[in-house]
Amino acid sequence: MSIVGKMMQRGIDISKEGSMTIRGNLYANNILPPRGNTWFVDSDNSVNGSGTTWAKAKTTIAAAVAVASARDIILVAPTINQMAGTTTNDYAEAVTIPATKMGLSIIGMGHDQEAVIWASPSQNSAPLTINARGCYVSGFRFRPNGSSTAGIVLVTNTALTANAEGTAIENCTFRSTTQDALAGIELQGGCNDIRIRHCIFDNVVAGIRQTNSDNSIAYRVTIEHNQINGNCTNGIILDCGRSKILNNMLAPGLTMVIQTNSGSATGTDNIVSGNTLNVSAYETNCSGAAGDSWLGNYCNDVASSVVGASAITYGYPQG
């Protein structure tokens, strides 16, 4: 369950007014450890403040990231218009979490995945790039714009000067604006131990995509309980090993639904199970390695040699 979900479950006031004491509530209820500072962001504020309370909130997410340290928490308010039901960009900015700010959390303070909208400030500029380990992002609708960008870009390079290992993204929506983006979430390089949960992907070329110029395998990635809609071209495209892709709903009409062997340095030993695969042909619209386990997916291609009459897969797509 997400941090915000745990807060609501325990009756903690997460409204803009009540969260003046949110840091103490988080610690007192054992949701977060007592370390780091909490920073506040509200673009409706007339003055860019110190960020230490809602009354003194920063007006941009970038300003809060600039003052934050490793393992701090940044809470981001929706605008008054957004809370009133008007769809506007609450924040249009390109933010990078540097490698030095490990464990930084950025949390949208709305009550659903649409409540805090974070858009590209210009074409092919990602709203959020993460170069640090162990970060956490929840509660935003990302609106990327441009064919070579994504809503969130996770970066791990061979020198490890950028290393997004261990980052978790959950309860977010990814939907392009003017031009369909390359992906909702892009993994650049071998990003290990990434967790992507309870997200919705719409109007992007791929929901989750790994771009892998150095042929690095992404290990121990967990992708579960996400929804990838038919307005996307592709679903999940990775070159991964020892990873889990579980219980995702992938809509009809996708060209590549799930692929675990997208690069030349093919990973293996992945578990792909419980997913809804609406495909024309299992071996064409999905792709995996011989060492993967693809048992227990729902797949409508009962003509496939590895899909049973009850529409349940019992083998990897051998195309």
Q: Is 312 part of a structural domain of the chain?
A: no
Kindly state whether residue 112 falls inside one of the protein's structural domains.
Answer: yes
Of 263 and 186, the one with more pLDDT:
186
* Mean per-residue pLDDT, 106-133: 89
pLDDT at 80: 74
Distance set, CA 117 to CA 76, 82, 174 (Å): 10, 8, 10
> Picking from 81-90, 93-102, 213-222, which range would have the lowest pLDDT averaged per residue?
81-90
pLDDT band at 112 (very low <50, low <70, confident <90, very high): low
Classify residue 11: in a domain, yes or no: no
Q: Which domain holds residue 160?
A: 35-299
- Residue 11's pLDDT band, with cuts at 50, 70 and 90, is very low
How many domains in the chain? Answer: 1
Per cent of the chain over pLDDT 70 is 85
Question: Residue 14 domain-assigned?
Answer: no
Look up the CATH number of the domain holding residue 131.
2.160.20.10
Residue 236 has pLDDT above 60, yes or no: yes
- Residue 90: the pLDDT is 86
Residues in the chain: 319
- The answer to whether residue 305 sits within a structural domain is no
**Do residues 173 and 162 make contact, with C-beta atoms less than 8 angstroms apart?**
no
Helices (H) and strands (E) in the chain, counts: 5, 28
Domain for residue 7, yes or no?
Answer: no
Q: Would residue 309 count as lying in a domain?
A: no
Span 239-246, average pLDDT: 96
Residue 9 — φ and ψ, nearest 5°? Answer: -60, -35
Residue 123 has pLDDT above 60, yes or no: yes
pLDDT at 16 over 60: no
* 19 pLDDT higher than 60: no
- How confident is the model over 130-185, as pLDDT tens digits? 999 999 999 999 999 999 999 999 999 999 999 999 999 999 999 998 778 999 99
pLDDT in tens, 178-212: 778 999 999 999 999 999 999 999 999 999 999 97
Residue 218: pLDDT over 60? yes
Residue with tokens 């009756």: 11
pLDDT averaged over every residue in the chain:
88
pTM of the model: 0.88
Domain assignment present for residue 25? The answer is no
